[in-house]
Amino acid sequence: MKNYDRILGALLGAAIGDAMGAAPASRTPELIKQDFGNDDFIYDYMDLLPDCTAFDMPKGAVTEGFSSAYVFADHICRNKGIVTPEIVRQALFDWKDGPTKIYYEKYAGPTTRKGVAIIEQNYKGDEGRDHLLFECRTATCGAAVRAWISGLYHNDDVEKAVTDALTIGYITHDNPISLAAGAALAGAVVYAQMEAASLASVLDGAVSSLDRAYRQAQSFCRPSSGASIVRRLDLAIETGIQFSNDFEKCISVMNDRVGLGELASESVPAAFGFFTAAGGDVMKTVYLSINAGNNCDTVAMLGAALAGAFHGADSIPGNHLEFLSAVNHMDIAGLARAITDL
C-alpha cells in the first residue's frame, strides 16, 4: 500500500530524528564530536549524559516533539481525520495527563506550558510582558512539531492541510511565524506524498504553503516581529543545495547562516535545508541534523518526517520501527494503518 508506506515513513522518520537528536541537543557540533562521537560524527542513538535534558530517559526515547505529534495524530484519526479546536484541546490534555505525560513533564517548553496554563485558567500572568502588543516569545517551533501531521490526512488537498495545521498550532502558539512554519511542513508533507513528487515540487510546495499560512495567521494572531521566515527558508534551501556534497560544511554553514535555535524561523528552515542537502533521504537528513546540535532533535524530527513522506518507510534501513515502538510504548505502525484507512 503506497499511502501506508508514505504515512509510516513520515511517522517513523519523525520518531527516529527526535530520538536520535535527544542526546546531542543543545550542544555545539564540536561538543557532540567530543562527548558522543570520539572526535567523529554520530550515526546512532546515544545514551543521555547527566547534563542532558531528561538525562534519566532511556536511549531511544523520543521527546516533546514526536510524543505530542503521536497523540495529536491519534486523536485526529479517531475523529475520522477531522480537526476541530475541541479535538486539539483533548489531544493536548491527553498528551499532558495520559500515558505520554512523562514526555510533557520532561520536555514541554515554556510556550506550550503557558498555553496549557491559560486553558486551565491557572496562568499567573506576567505583568512585565502580557500587556505588550507584540508577543515574540511564542515564535518558537512548538506548533510545528505537532502541526505537520495534518499533511498526513490530506494527500491531495494542500489548502485543507494548511488550515488544519493552523488550528492544531494555535491552541498553544498565538503567533503568525510559528503557525506558518507548521503549515509549511504540513503542505510539504502533502506534496511529498503525491504520485509525481520531486524534491523541487516538495520545496516549492513548502514555500507556497508558508506564504499562504503566514497571511492567514496574520488575520487572527497577535502580531510578531522577527526575521522573515520566507527569506530564511529560501536561504536554508540554497545552503542545502550548495553544500549537498560536503557533510561537515553543510552543518557548519547551516548553523552560521540559518541557525538551529528554538525559534520557528530557525529550526523549521534548517529542517528543510538538511532535507534538501540529503536529497530527501531519511537517514542522511537525520545524520546532518543531529550532528548540527542546538535544537537538533526538532530539526531532525521535522526534516525526517518530510523525507519519510517523500521516500516511504521501505527506504529506511534497520529495525528502527520495532526498537522505537518498544522503548516508547507506541504503536507507530498501527497509527499509520489507521490514518491510511481514512
Q: What is the DSSP string of 130-189?
A: TT-S--GGG-BTTTHHHHGGGGGS-SS-HHHHHHHHHHHHHTT---HHHHHHHHHHHHHH
Q: CA 113, 261, 243 angle in degrees (round to 5)?
A: 145
Q: Go through 105-134 and write b for each residue having 16 or more CB atoms within 10 A of its CB, e for each that does not.
A: ebbbbebbebbbeeeeeeeeeeeeeeeeee
Beta bridge partners of 140: 263
Could you report the per-residue pLDDT of 51-76, keeping only the tens digit for each?
998 899 999 999 999 999 999 999 99
**Long-range interactions of 258-263: CB distance < 8 A, separation 24+:** 258/232, 259/294, 260/292, 260/293, 260/294, 260/295, 260/296, 260/299, 261/294, 261/295, 262/109, 262/140, 262/141, 262/295, 263/139, 263/140, 263/141, 263/177, 263/226
Could you report the per-residue pLDDT of 141-163, keeping only the tens digit for each?
899 999 999 999 987 899 999 99
Q: What is the pLDDT of residue 2?
A: 63
- Say how many C-beta atoms besides its own lie within 10 A of residue 294's C-beta: 22
Instruction: Please count the CA atoms within 13 angstroms of the CA of 60 that sit on its side-chain side.
Output: 13
Q: What is the pLDDT of residue 109?
A: 86
Q: Give the global pTM.
A: 0.95
Residue 92 DSSP SS3: helix
Residue 122 has pLDDT above 80, yes or no: no
Whole-number average pLDDT of the chain: 93
Crossing angle for the helix pair 176-192 and 229-242, to the nearest 10 degrees: 40
Map out the domains of the chain with their CATH numbers: 2-341 (1.10.4080.10)
Residue 1 has pLDDT above 60, yes or no: no
Could you report the per-residue pLDDT of 195-224, keeping only the tens digit for each?
899 999 999 999 999 999 989 988 888 787
- Burial of residue 35 (CB within 10 Å: 0-12, 13-18, 19+) is middle
